[in-house]
Structure 1
Amino acid sequence: MLIEQSAYANRWRTVAPDAKGLFALGGLVAAFAAAGRLEAALAVTAAVVAATVLGARVPLGLYLRVAFPALLFLAVSALSLALSVDRAPGDGLGVHVTGAGLDQVSRVTGRSLAGLAALLFLVLTTPLTDLIVLARRLRTPEVLLDIMVLCYRTLFVFSGALHDMRTAQAARLGYANSRLTFRALGDLTANLTLQIWQRAHALHQAALARNSDGPLRFLPTPHPHARRHTLLGGLAGALLAALGGLLAHGGAV
């Protein structure tokens, strides 16, 4: 829900999704171009984060909360790449850090951080409805777009049902002590599982009733200055990709 909150509240909400998609694509190209040098990748990451936080006015706290799970996964992955486990003298296990491992960690971490920043820029500034319009223009299979729409709707249904159940349990003092808390959580899990199954079944029946009569359609958001935004987004993405290439080339020289 934090992502949707940011997508609808940021300053670049009305910018054409094509422009933001081109800028994100430039960030991904720059991430791979600068992956051989950690300093270059960090510079690209900083540029994209600055565009998201300072340009689109996405709150820094919200940005960090959304990025935290991915950063935690990246930290664990980097640690596993840096450490090497082998047999030590005396039939024991030895853990040590190798130069090759550190070089691999540098490449993977730099590329991942820059790529993550580019993707977060796109999802934190663009609502899903605009993303689906953009994906449809890129000839994405309609079945994938339908699944995206249904999953998107299901998330809000799930969140609403969870909120209502927790509110009802709290009104009956279901969380007054530890014993009641465990019992309430068990009831919440059981009832929520049943509701999700029932609503998923109803959604399946509704889809069957449509006889697969074409994809799901909705009205797109109008963007009066789409051409200008797309041109500016393409130029910014090209500059970002060029920046990544120049920084990586400068490090190689």
Structure 2
Amino acid sequence: MIKIDDYAYTSGLKDVHPIEKVSFALTFLFFTILSKNNLVAGFTFTVMSIGVLFKAKIPFIVYLKLLFVPFLFLMTSLVAILFSIAPINQEELGVVWRAEIGLWQIYISSYSFQQSYELASTILASVSCLYFLVLSTPLYQIMWVLKKGKLPTVFVELMGITYRFIFVLLEKVNEIYIAQSSRLGYQNYRSWFSSVAQLIVSLFIKSMRSANELQIAMDSRGGDEHLYDVDLSMGYNRGHFVIIFISFVTLFMMYIMTKS
């Protein structure tokens, strides 16, 4: 998480106006979710990956590791869609693979395989859009866009506070883990479970203290100040809007062609 924030602030696209980056990413995300088509998803994933690797200049290994996390969760979720269970005497159409266990059979149908493939491609393409935005846009730029979008101030500031507390909690987790490891807290299974339980309790107490300190600091200033007033002085690039328009037209044509 900390590394993602570091890459956002050192990205090759950090000086590009956030409206341009958000519009570009959301255009691809919108058509990917709307079409749920493999061609559109593949095009989206390719364009977003090129943007992340060559424009934002994120290392390939880092991007691969980031994609591996949602891919792992995706594979575990697709099991329920890909495999079906039915009585052994029940005939199923379009069976690609089948295994019999007693009076039951586990099988993969052509329909479930196609559905899983389309779902996986759509999700990975959508994740690549979000990674493009997160890895190229610092938090203060995203919050500026949210405020310009007339979202409630409470929502925007809660988002900023939550994001801030993620790093606070990660730092405290690391401190507690180092302290426990230095006392051989993870040398066997019994001590491992005990140490993890103590870490969770300590983290909860420290997070409550941090939240209380933040509330006291806000109350001492009257409680009505905006914590994240962002003033952005960045210019627009007409060339980027031309690229966004071309991308929109291309995706729209691909959507129409795949629908027909």
Q: Which amino acid aligns with 2:68?
A: F
Q: Relative to structure 1, is the Cα distance of residues 134 and 89 closer, same or farther in structure 2, using a 3 angstrom cutoff? A: same
Q: Could you tell me whether the CA contact under 8 Å between 2:144 and 2:232 is conserved in 1?
A: no
Q: Which amino acid aligns with 2:121?
A: G
Q: Could you tell me whether the CA contact under 8 Å between 2:14 and 2:136 is conserved in 1?
A: yes
Hey, what does 1:4 align to over in structure 2? 5
Establish whether residue 23 from structure 1 lines up as the match of residue 32 from structure 2: no
TM-score by length of 1: 0.83
The whole-number CA distance in structure 2 between the counterparts of 1:49 and 1:175 is 41
Cα RMSD, aligned residues only: 2.8
Hey, what does 2:247 align to over in structure 1? 240
Establish whether residue 131 from structure 1 lines up as the match of residue 132 from structure 2: no
Q: Could you tell me whether the CA contact under 8 Å between 1:7 and 1:126 is conserved in 2?
A: yes
SS of the aligned residue for 2:204 comes to: helix
The whole-number CA distance in structure 1 between the counterparts of 2:180 and 2:120 is 44
**Alpha-carbon distance, 1:52 to partner:** 1.1
Question: Superposed, which structure 2 residues align to 1:153-168 within 5 Å?
Answer: 153-168=164-179
SS of the aligned residue for 1:139 comes to: coil
Deviations along 1:34-83, one digit per CA (max 9) or x if unpaired, are: 523x1342122111111111111011222222222222222233332222
Q: 1:174 aligns with which of 165, 184, 188?
A: 184
Structure 1 stretches lacking a partner, 5+ long: none
Q: 1:227 aligns with which of 219, 224, 236?
A: 236
TM-score by length of 2: 0.81
Q: Could you tell me whether the CA contact under 8 Å between 1:78 and 1:105 is conserved in 2?
A: yes
Q: Relative to structure 1, is the Cα distance of residues 242 and 53 closer, same or farther in structure 2, using a 3 angstrom cutoff? A: same
Hey, what does 2:59 align to over in structure 1? 59
SS of the aligned residue for 1:95 comes to: strand
What's the % identity of the aligned pairs?
21
Q: Could you tell me whether the CA contact under 8 Å between 1:34 and 1:248 is conserved in 2?
A: yes
- Greater shift after overlay, 189-198 or 85-94? 85-94
More relative contact order, 1 or 2 (CA 8 Å, 6+ apart):
1
Say how many residue pairs are matched: 247
Q: Which amino acid aligns with 2:236?
A: R
**Alpha-carbon distance, 1:143 to partner:** 1.2
Hey, what does 1:39 align to over in structure 2? 39
**Alpha-carbon distance, 1:132 to partner:** 0.3
Q: Relative to structure 1, is the Cα distance of residues 235 and 108 closer, same or farther in structure 2, using a 3 angstrom cutoff? A: farther
Q: Relative to structure 1, is the Cα distance of residues 241 and 112 closer, same or farther in structure 2, using a 3 angstrom cutoff? A: farther
